[in-house]
Structure 1
Amino acid sequence: MSANALQALHGKLALVTGGSRGIGKAISERLARDGATVAVAYGRDEAAAADTVERITKDGGQAFAVHAELGRHGDAVRLWEAFDEASRPYTDSGAVDIVVNNAGIGRSAPLAALTEEGFDEVFAVNVRAPFFIVQQALPRLRDGGRIVNVSSGAARLAMPEIIAYGATKGALDTFTLNLAQELGPRGITVNGVAPGIVDTDVNAAWLRGNPEAQAHAASMAALGRVGQPEDIADIVAFLASDDARWVTGRVIDATGGARL
């Protein structure tokens, strides 16, 4: 761990939802390498959260797990209650500097096949949860803090096969824009990152071990390859740092230039 990395977020406390796997895991590990103490929030996979915390601590960083299943009424309150309890060894104020809304679910169904229950579930996790997580964070979030919402390229690309998922990310982008305006007077920046196809467990079934799928996914990006979790984590780390102090209300395309 370099001295420069430690300086970037040294002394900061970050919460990363969905922080135990895939993009969230990469974000948790990168923020920790940059010096932040990271609350790794997870919904169901306790073992994955424990593994992420262990990897961070073995690398010389600080992290702890926070459990709260998203998608139900009251989930944001329960998340912050769990955070308050777990963060006591690291802060005596319950304050937080960085909130990364990364947790999300997808629904691979076109309009004709999507059920009302499926629609409600994807909006509950991808839109309602971040909205109220931020609402509950406001008294805890220090002035000059950072909020980063993980959106998706599906918010700008026509993908009818995942129409509800794309709609949630469009709503999240609008949330980002309005929140940036509201929190600007406190020096809090609010930005989004919109990944394209990323090699994570979510895409493993159709992507990994399938050269044709890999080639097709890579061909969609101007940069000619499939994204990696670290590609997204590095952008989040920039937005969380002081280097991004004059950037707010923006959604950064992180698709590698998909369908330009």
Structure 2
Amino acid sequence: MRLSMQLQMPEAKPITDAGGKAVKIGGDVSKLADAQGIVDGAIEHFGRLDIVVNNAGIYELASIEDVTEEHFHEQFNINVLGTLLVTQAAIKHLLGGGSIITLSSVASHAAVPRTAVYAGTKGAIDAVTGGLSRELGPRHIRVNSIQP
């Protein structure tokens, strides 16, 4: 990744200072071991897991002439594979029910130049969310998407 996790992740302190509960746990969501470590860190800190918010993502504009394999794979690995891996790591902790929220984008259905790869990742997130909703619903796990 181009930027370090430290630069990309917000601090937990403003939340805890306001009386909320938060912990900062870093990792590369496109790697199974890191995704598992993020979930394990949350369980260790909070004692349980009720909700998963798949918010890690990358956005990089590129014209079709400038799309490279690296550009494509980096965005799909973080935006789509990362969502799947974190969700997979969290499932065993949500067996009694819970909520999974994925972050999509209006880009998934808006025709905006230079966003073909990014929009593709968000369209994939929409499909993943729908599939997981039907798969996990019978287990009392809600799966919804937000499209800012």
In which range does the TM-score fall when normalised by the shorter chain?
A: 0.7 to 0.9
Residue identity (%):
36
Note if contact 1:53-1:64 (Cα within 8 Å) is conserved in structure 2.
yes
1-structure distance, mates of 2:8, 2:117: 28
TM-score (norm 2): 0.88
TM-score (norm 1): 0.52
State the Cα deviation string for residues 164-215 of structure 1 (Å, max 9, x = none): 00000000000000000001111111111111xxxxxxxxxxxxxxxxxxxx
| Secondary structure in structure 1 of the residue aligned to 2:15 | helix
| Deviation of 1:115 (Å) | 0.7
Residue 144 of structure 1: aligned partner: 97
| Deviation of 1:80 (Å) | 2.3
Structure 2 CA distance for partners of 1:59 and 1:142, relative to 1, 3 Å? farther
Note if contact 1:70-1:125 (Cα within 8 Å) is conserved in structure 2.
yes
2-structure distance, mates of 1:149, 1:82: 16
Note if contact 1:66-1:79 (Cα within 8 Å) is conserved in structure 2.
no
Where does the alignment leave 5 or more consecutive residues of structure 1 unmatched? Answer: 1-42, 196-260
Q: What's the C-alpha RMSD, in Å, of the aligned pairs?
A: 2.0
Structure 2 CA distance for partners of 1:149 and 1:85, relative to 1, 3 Å? closer
> Do structure 1's residue 79 and structure 2's residue 39 form an aligned pair?
no
Residue 88 of structure 1: aligned partner: 44
Residue 44 of structure 1: aligned partner: 4
Note if contact 2:42-2:49 (Cα within 8 Å) is conserved in structure 1.
no
| Deviation of 1:45 (Å) | 4.1
Note if contact 1:146-1:190 (Cα within 8 Å) is conserved in structure 2.
yes
Q: Which residue identity does 1:58 align to in structure 2?
A: D
Residue 53 of structure 1: aligned partner: 12
Q: Name the count of aligned residue pairs.
A: 146
User: Which of the numbers 138, 161, 186 marks the counterpart of 2:139?
Assistant: 186
Note if contact 1:77-1:136 (Cα within 8 Å) is conserved in structure 2.
no
| Higher Rg | 1
1-structure distance, mates of 2:122, 2:133: 16
